Amino acid sequence: MSRIGKKVITLPEKTEIKVSDDNISVKGPLGELSRRTHPSIEVRVAGAEVTVHPRVETLESRALWGTYAAHISNMVDGVNKAFEKKLILEGIGYKSEVKAARPNESGHSGGGDTIVLALGFSHPVEVKIPTGLKVTAEKNNILITGSDKELVGQFAAKLRSLKKPEPYKGKGMRYDTEVIRRKQGKKSV
């Protein structure tokens, strides 16, 4: 039995949930999120309460029961209050800035923004920001916000992987809550 799957998800006011054949969509003040469900999982809506149940008692459905309950709970939280991740860039000459997309030949911008990072390489690193996310860069702090928890975490991990923090001087990109274990350098005799 799944402890997370057994919990009842209560919908805050101004939040709607629609369950069709194999699709769930949650609509709230910050937007709308949708997700496909697995055929072995059933989602029931009764008033302002949502419950998740397995249709068949198999090992796979028991594994997915709590997973889909967590997904739906995150969707409900995301359309009411945005998720955020904060990255800190440390190192001399390391900087970040958010730029609008360059216009193409016809003069129209391609849509979306780009974050440009100077990470100690011979060239600036440009990363396109996915739709649905808002990224702000002030000095060496990068704040990623959005209503989709997975998208926020995935984009933050992608940015961090460009220049992971190193243990000797602590240079690189790290989460604001992350603690870097420092190593002592070589000692001269």
Domain span including residue 169: 83-175
Q: Is the dihedral of CA 113, 147, 70, 37 positive or negative?
A: negative
Shared domain check, 49 and 8: yes
Domain end position, chosen among 78, 107, 122: 78
Query: Domain for residue 105, yes or no?
Result: yes
CATH number at residue 34: 3.90.930.12
Same domain, yes or no, for 87 and 170?
Answer: yes
Structure confidence at residue 111 (pLDDT): 45
The pLDDT of residue 10: 93
Q: Does the residue 184 lie in any domain?
A: no
Beta strands in 55-184 (DSSP E): 83-90, 95-100, 113-118, 125-128, 133-138, 141-146, 172-175
Domain count, the chain: 2
Q: Is there a single domain that holds both residue 31 and residue 66? A: yes
172 burial type by CB count under 10 A (0-12 exposed, 13-18 middle, 19+ buried): buried
* Tens-digit pLDDT profile for residues 104-159: 554 544 444 899 999 999 999 999 999 999 999 988 899 999 999 999 999 999 99
At a CB cut-off of 8 Å and minimum separation 6, what does 44 contact?
19, 50, 51, 52, 53
- This model's pTM is above 0.75: yes
